[in-house]
Amino acid sequence: MSNFGILQKLDLPKQIRGKKVLDAGCGSGFFLFDYLFYGADVTGIDQSENSIEFVRQQANALGFRPTLIACDLETVSLPDNSFDYIFCTYVLHHTPNPRIVLEQFRRWCKKDGTIKLIISHKYAPDVFIQRIITPIFRTVPQLSKIVPACIKKRIHWEDRYEHPYWRQMSKQQVIDLCMSSGLEIRSIQVYGFSIFLLSYFMPPIVGKALNALLGNHFGRAIGVEAAPQKIT
């Protein structure tokens, strides 16, 4: 996430200022407020009413008035050709029908617009660990009580082990999904090698070296830039 965040802070302000931006699955506004501060006209969607209300309160306190919608991405209705940028960060792999969501994005995005996705990678070491641990904690949920709250927060426990729609994808699966949804991929990259909680305690230079060696194959994220396919 640090790579993605740094790139946004360096490159995005000049790109999205004055543009119409959709944060699809905005949560509590981790990225949404960046888009607001960059000067974009922002719409945020999330299925959690609590998250939307939290974002609304924080935005009002800061003097912003984004459009905020509490709904899931599969059923929400928005005007076609209405957004210059659509951002969907670590959300698509949690949706029951990602193809329907991407087809929605294709309709909502302007023909010359941009769709940016961050999707959890299927072949990351963390995923293999999750597949071992998750069934154990779902079978014996009392075991989760032995994990300290500070650790749960740091490794995004609920997101990794308790979300009902938990389906990482391979790079090829993402390519196939985008193409079948009517999207044209401009760029796609696997990045962010990590090993469960150990990565949080590694010296930065070790993390960078591992990412350089293994990130393209075993990174935790797939970054995609896409656009609606041009009809010829």
Residue 127 lies in a domain: no
Q: In 83-220, which ranges are E strands? A: 83-89, 109-120, 183-191
Kindly report, residue by residue over 127-181, the tens digit of the pLDDT.
Answer: 887 778 778 877 888 887 888 887 777 666 776 666 655 678 999 999 999 999 9
Residue 157 forms part of a structural domain: no
Strands (E) across the chain are located at 20-24, 41-46, 67-70, 83-89, 109-120, 183-191, 221-228
**Per the domain annotation, does 156 fall within a domain?**
no
Q: Residue 158 burial (CB < 10 Å; 0-12/13-18/19+)?
A: exposed
The pLDDT tens digits of the residues spanning 9-19 come to 567 888 899 99
CA distance 54 to 57: 5
- Residue 123 identity: Y
Q: Can you give the residue range of the structural domain that contains 20?
A: 2-122+166-228
Q: Which amino acid does the sequence have at 17?
A: R
Amino acid at 208: K
Instruction: Let me know if residue 201 belongs to a domain.
Output: yes
Residue 172 lies in a domain: yes
The CATH number of residue 72's host domain is 3.40.50.150
pTM of the shown model? 0.85
Instruction: For residue 63, tell me if it sits in a domain.
Output: yes
Domain count of the fold of the chain: 1
Domain membership flag for residue 138: no
